[in-house]
Amino acid sequence: MTRAVLSIGSNMGDRLELLRSVVTGLGTRVRAVSPVYTTAPWGGVEQDDFLNAVLVAEDPDYDCRAWLRHGQQLEQAAGRERAVRWGARTLDVDIVSCAERAGSGLGALRSTDPELTLPHPQAHHRAFVLIPWLDVEPDASLAVDGTERSVRELLAELDSAERDGVRRTELTLLPASRGVR
C-alpha cells in the first residue's frame, strides 16, 4: 500500500473544475483535500495566477510510479502541454512525497530517477505546496537533503513574500456530501 501527497495546480481554463477533475479521477483513493489557494506563478514566466491544493491519497495496489502515471493521465485528459518550463498549464499534478506501508507505519520513499524524483526536489521551497499540505497534515514532514524536517519549520524558513503570496480562497474541491476532510 502506498500513500501519496499530491500538489495540484491550474492557471488556464476553468481552473477550479480542472482541480476537481483530479479529485474525481482519484475517486475513493482520496483521503484528504486541502482548501483551494490562489498563488502567483512560480518560475519567472509571465502568466495568470494559479489555483493550488494538496491531496493525500492511498491505494493498496499502487506504487509510486502508478501515482505518477495516474497523475500524467489526468494532466493529459485536461489538455496539458509541456511547451515552456514553469509555463502556464491547464493542470499540474506533482507527487510531493510517496510512502509505503512498512510494518506498523509508513516509510517515505526516496528516488533519484529523473522521471520520478522523491521527495519532490523543490517542494520545500514552495509555499503553495507547504501551506495547503499543513491544512491536511499539521504534523507533516519532508526529507530535505536526506534529513527529515517539519513542513511547518520549512515554511517558516521561506521568505515572507513567498508565504504571503499564497492566499486561501472560499473555493472547495469537494461536494458538501463527500466524507473526506
d(CA 181, CA 29): 13
Query: Mean pLDDT, to the nearest integer, of 27-55?
Result: 91
What phi and psi, each to the nearest 5 degrees, are found at residue 22?
-70, -45
pLDDT in tens, 1-10: 688 999 999 9
Domain range enclosing 148? 2-168
Would residue 23 count as lying in a domain?
Answer: yes
Would residue 176 count as lying in a domain?
Answer: no
Domain count, the chain: 1
**pLDDT at res. 102:** 52
- Asked whether 148 and 139 are in contact (CB, 8 A), the reply is no
Query: Mean pLDDT, to the nearest integer, of 96-116?
Result: 62
Q: Is the pLDDT of residue 96 over 90?
A: no
**What's the first-to-final CA gap in the chain, in angstroms?**
21
Would residue 37 count as lying in a domain?
Answer: yes
C-alpha cell at 118: 522523491
Would residue 177 count as lying in a domain?
Answer: no
Residue type, 19: L
Would residue 175 count as lying in a domain?
Answer: no
**pLDDT at res. 104:** 47
The 3 state secondary structure assigned to 102-131 is ECCEEEECCEEECCEEECCCCHHHCHHHHH
Would residue 174 count as lying in a domain?
Answer: no
Q: Is the pLDDT of residue 24 over 80?
A: yes
CATH number at residue 11: 3.30.70.560
